[in-house]
């Protein structure tokens, strides 16, 4: 059964409406690489060096959107907090990184196995141009079931500027 939206005197009412066809959606086909990423779900703590200071950080991974996306919250609770969304992309996996730099680079999974996932931009979706400072790639390495390394590759003027590494421990 679906619902019909009815607008009466400025009020939004939902009323049941039956039509031909199934109200059920078929279950999405989830790529094997995305299923492997689900082992990251949970809370991770760690630290990194930023601008000469050691910064403590929390990273969380949550499954959402009927099991078709994983949200990642980096540096949760800080002014530098960022969100990435990993999602099914046809037969593959892609991600969008909502960066503190003010852009949203889109990356695709280039290679993976049970422990290492390499995402990289293959076109300039989410940035104004390749010259804009942006995160260009991320490699997620599950060193053990409880230790995760993130390696973020930062580009400036179309070239690699640096790599920031986060070492995280599952909580």
CA distance 167 to 60: 14
What confidence tens digit (pLDDT) does each residue in 116-139 have? 999 999 888 999 998 999 999 999
70 lies in some domain:
yes
Number of domains into which the chain is organized:
1
Q: Which domain holds residue 158?
A: 29-170
Residue 58 lies in a domain: yes
Q: Do 142 and 115 meet the contact criterion of CB atoms below 8 Å apart?
A: yes
Q: Is 158 helix (H, G, I), strand (E, B) or coil?
A: coil
- Asked if pLDDT for residue 8 goes beyond 80, the answer is no
End-to-end CA distance of the chain: 42
Give the pLDDT confidence of 25-62 residue by residue, as tens digits. 788 888 899 999 999 999 999 987 777 888 889 999 99
Cα separation, 169 vs 121, whole angstroms: 27
pTM of the model: 0.82
For the CA atoms of the chain, what is the radius of gyration?
Answer: 20
* Tokens standing for residue 159: 């070239």
Indicate whether 1 belongs to any domain. Answer: no
């Amino acid at each position: 059964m679906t619902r019909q939206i009815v607008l009466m005197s400025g009020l939004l009412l939902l009323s049941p409406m039956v039509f031909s066809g199934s109200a059920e959606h078929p279950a999405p086909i989830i790529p094997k690489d995305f299923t492997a990423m689900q082992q990251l779900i949970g809370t991770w703590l760690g630290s990194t060096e930023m601008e000469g200071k050691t910064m403590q950080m929390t990273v969380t991974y949550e499954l959402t959107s009927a099991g078709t996306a994983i949200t990642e919250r980096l540096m949760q609770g800080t002014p530098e907090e960022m969100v990435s969304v990993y999602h099914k992309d046809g037969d593959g996996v892609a991600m969008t990184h909502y960066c503190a730099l003010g852009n949203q680079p889109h990356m695709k999974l280039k290679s993976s196995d049970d422990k290492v996932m390499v995402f990289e931009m293959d076109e300039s979706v989410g940035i104004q141009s390749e010259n804009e400072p942006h995160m260009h790639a991320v490699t997620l390495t599950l060193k053990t079931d409880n230790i995760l390394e993130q390696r973020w590759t930062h580009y400036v003027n179309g070239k690699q500027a640096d790599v920031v590494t986060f070492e995280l421990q599952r909580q």
